[in-house]
Amino acid sequence: MKVANKLFFIFGGASGLGEATARLLHSQGAYVAILDLNEDLAQSVASSLNTNQEATKMSSGMGPTERALHAAVDICDTESIEAAFALCDEKWKDVEVGGAVVASGIGMVGKTLERDGSPHNLDVFEQVIKINLTGNFNACRMVAARLVRDVPKPIPAPTEETPCRGVIVTVASQAGLEGQAGQVAYATSKGAIVSMTLPMARDLAWYSIRTCSICPSIFETPMSVQMPQRARKKTLATTEYPARFGRPDEFAHAAVSIIENDMMNGMNLRLDGATRLAKL
């Protein structure tokens, strides 16, 4: 799938991995909807993209229409997602939807038992699951429905010639494969996204929609900045090559590669520079 002239919904697009992906897609001629709970940051990113578009002649030869907008979206709130879709329909009624990158999420630290013998806070555990897993699935199901909304029903089975109708890229984590101590809630939520990827791809194959997840190691994002320095230093010592944490633009290139390559489907892509999370 070519990204130029297609609309992509970027959940969690106001910062970090989502923002980097939105910027790369936009630079390649795509329309991007920056959907984030932080409306001020989302507006700032969208305004920046539109300003850059105005100042630069894009190689795609696109017209003067602004190709970025923002909306306050809670991925756990279906109505806010529907409102964002309606906003895109109003502004870009003739633009074909290409899919989404679902990068919204939170990270919480807590052990099953703390040193004082107290159990993990159940409210915190449930909050992480609600946002990172249930919210993620909610965004995916809504995007899938949007991709087939205007397609005549019933939709026939795909053939060799059927073009890809859309792509959904979710953000799992290396922690979902080999979580560290203190990551029981976060690792559980991300491991569930890994497990969700293949059955979702099989569910959506009939509709010519692909879905993949990316499992990044530690990347330099606002979330990773909160990591204790001792843990950062110890984790960095386990990296192979590159001997550093990942950069958001490297994630963005991986996400766009998935969108562009039709054979990438039902896959969990490790993006970790051969790093394996060790005991802290």
Q: Could you read off the pLDDT of 189-212 as tens digits, one per residue?
A: 999 999 999 999 999 999 999 999
**What residue has token string 């052990």?**
111
Q: Which of 128, 117, 226, 266 is nearest to 184 (CA)?
A: 128
Question: In sequence order, which residues have a C-beta less than 8 Å from that of residue 42 and are 6 or more positions away?
Answer: 13, 14, 34, 35, 36, 70, 71, 72
Residue 280 lies in a domain: no
Residue 213 lies in a domain: yes
- Segment 227-234 shows an average pLDDT of 76
Q: At what angle do helices 16-27 and 39-55 cross, to 10 degrees?
A: 20
Q: Residue 45 belongs to a domain with what CATH number?
A: 3.40.50.720
Higher-pLDDT residue of 236, 195: 195
241: annotated active-site residue = no
Q: Is 91 exposed, middle or buried (0-12, 13-18, 19+ CB in 10 A)?
A: middle
Domain holding 145, by residue range, is 6-151+160-271
The encoded tokens of residue 186 equal 């976060």
Is 161 strand, coil or helix? coil
- pTM of the predicted structure, to 2 decimals: 0.92
Residue 277 lies in a domain: no
Confidence of residue 55 (pLDDT cuts 50, 70, 90): low
Q: What total of structural domains would you count in the chain?
A: 1
Type of residue numbered 7 = L
Residue 49 lies in a domain: yes
